[in-house]
Amino acid sequence: MKYIIFDFDGTIGDSQSLIVKTLQDTMRAKKMEVKSDEACAKTIGLRLDEAFVSLFGMSAEEGMECAATYREIFLDNKKTMIVQPFPHVIETLRELHRQGFILGMASSRNHCSLDGYVKQMQLEDIFSSIVAGDDVGHVKPAPDMVFMALGEMKGMKNPVTSAEAGDVEDMLDEVLVVGDMTFDVDMAHNAGCKACAVTYGNGTREQLASAEFIIDDFAELLGLV
């Protein structure tokens, strides 16, 4: 492997409690049924509007309205609920970078939020590409994020879309996508590359069984690649 693309929530950052609380606070604010912690956690990895559509079967427009409310509440919640990296994440990422692997990030959260967490964890210097949900037309499990990340890793000036995936086809055999949800595994496979699933995030080992590799500790990546 030469290129490694990481999910953020549930893979790098331990954000489940913050996301679940903000989803539920949004439901209360909108006077909707408050879904269980488990139901909310299952949507992590989807773009916010899609999470609400998935939970309530609402229209895309209603999902966007809920997402806007979520973002307002999130700004307050994140002041007291600090997202910390999972054990061994920071040192492992830095060692992978030191060894010459080209690292990218692909997350369904919006770019402003994602950049904020990368800066908080002092990881700005190690990622060659950061792709967020608002950077692409189709989010996970579509392959768009992988193609765009690889285009940036390759130094291409314009984002790579699914239709132009041939521009990075020569890189796919050397790509590993690391994530904690089936959305991440499916995104990797839809792009034509391998997936490594982590079991400490939001998905179970059974749910992640289709990944080529499964690890219980982020540091295991060093022996895997």
Question: What confidence tens digit (pLDDT) does each residue in 157-215 have?
Answer: 776 766 567 778 889 999 999 999 999 999 999 999 999 999 999 999 999 999 999 99
Residue 162: its pLDDT value, please? 63
What 8-state DSSP symbol labels residue 23? Answer: H
Domain boundaries for CATH 3.40.50.1000 within the chain: 3-14+84-223
Check: CATH 1.10.760 for 16-78? no
Q: Alpha-carbon distance 29 to 149, whole Å?
A: 36
Contacts of 112 (CB under 8 A, 6+ apart): none
- Quick check: 98 pLDDT over 80? yes
- Quick check: 57 pLDDT over 70? yes
Domain boundaries for CATH 1.10.150 within the chain: 16-78
Identify the CATH homologous superfamily for domain 3-14+84-223. Answer: HAD superfamily/HAD-like (3.40.50.1000)
pLDDT, tens digit, 9 for 90 and up, residues 6-16: 999 999 999 99
Return the beta strands (E) in the chain as ranges: 3-6, 13-14, 84-85, 102-106, 127-131, 175-179, 194-198, 213-215
Q: Alpha-carbon distance 104 to 178, whole Å?
A: 10
Compute the average pLDDT of residues 105-110: 94
Residue 161: its pLDDT value, please? 67
Residue 163: its pLDDT value, please? 56
User: Which residue type is seen at 114?
Assistant: L
Contacts of 135 (CB under 8 A, 6+ apart): 111, 145, 148, 159
Q: Alpha-carbon distance 218 to 75, whole Å?
A: 28
Closest CA to 3 of 133, 106, 84: 106
- For 202, phi and psi rounded to 5 degrees? -100, -10
pLDDT, tens digit, 9 for 90 and up, residues 190-206: 999 999 999 999 999 99
Q: Alpha-carbon distance 104 to 95, whole Å?
A: 14
Contact 71, 23 (CB under 8 A): no
Q: Alpha-carbon distance 62 to 68, whole Å?
A: 10
Residue 158: its pLDDT value, please? 74
